[in-house]
Amino acid sequence: MSADLAAVDSAGTDTTAADAESQLRERYRRGGLLGRLTPGAAPAVVVVDLQFGFTEPQYGPGCDLDAVVDATNDLLAAARAAGVPIIFTTIAFPVDNDGIGGTWLQKMPAMKELREGTRPVEIDSRLGMREGEHLVVKQTASAFAYTGLAELLRELGADSVIVTGATTSGCVRATAVDACAADFPTFVVRECVGDREAAPHDASLLDIDAKYGDVIDVQEAIRMVRSVG
């Protein structure tokens, strides 16, 4: 949250947004939320939807994610050096119909640009996806829904997931929720996820951190993958 935004606590006292979040976190802790996860010995990195349709603002679903791409590249370099599995996801709907995404496309018609075989569904070339790295194609927010991602992670021997990508309030959050449901300890990298607006981004990170996975910084994520090597 931006520290210069004003908030009001339950007693009516003006506080900064940072103070308000600190108080909220303390209430969560007293209520039994905000537990901490133990990093696994064999993580995999899941890069959620950093496709041109999201990373380039000229496309309907897109926004400026340059900083997210840069930070994700730092993490991917460490993961590749350590031999940690990397899985990319992309949203792609059939050219002649909406696949299983009809309801979602009613809510987000901007995503109708994300059609199989078009540039918006390609992984951003700045990430340098390599041979041997996996691509999961999806038509829902979660990277786990109708994709077989959980089975792939188990085949790869992964015992936890490190999540990057877009958008924080949409596909990243949905993926974190379903990773928790699939019993994978999940670590969402703060600098490596992004959204169209700050408010849903911040709220989603707080919600993920409270209930589904740990929100960590990129240096901690890099240390996590380097520990494997």
| Per-residue pLDDT tens digits for 13-48 | 455 888 989 999 999 999 999 999 999 999 999 999
Q: How far is CA 96 from CA 101, 106, 121, 223, in A?
A: 13, 16, 15, 45
- Does residue 63 have an active-site annotation? no
Please tell me the predicted confidence (pLDDT) of residue 88. 98
Among residues 63, 171, 180, 192, the one annotated as catalytic is 171
Question: Angle 66-82/218-228 helices, nearest 10 degrees?
Answer: 20
Please tell me the predicted confidence (pLDDT) of residue 74. 98
β-partners of residue 162 are: 45, 187
Please tell me the predicted confidence (pLDDT) of residue 98. 84
Helix (H, G, I), strand (E, B) or coil at 123: strand
Contact, 40 vs 224, CB < 8 A?
no
Segment (H or E) for 204:
helix 198-211
Please tell me the predicted confidence (pLDDT) of residue 15. 59
Please tell me the predicted confidence (pLDDT) of residue 17. 80
115 CB neighbour count, 10 Å cutoff:
17
CA dihedral 119, 63, 205, 11 (to 10 degrees): -160
Residue range 40-227 in CATH 3.20.20.100: no
Distance CA(65)–CA(95), nearest Å, equals: 26
Q: What is the pTM of this model?
A: 0.91
Segments of the chain with pLDDT less than 50 = 1-13
Query: 137 Cβ partners below 8 Å, 6+ apart?
Result: 89, 90, 91, 92, 147
Q: How far is CA 127 from CA 1, 73, 122, 165, in A?
A: 28, 6, 11, 11
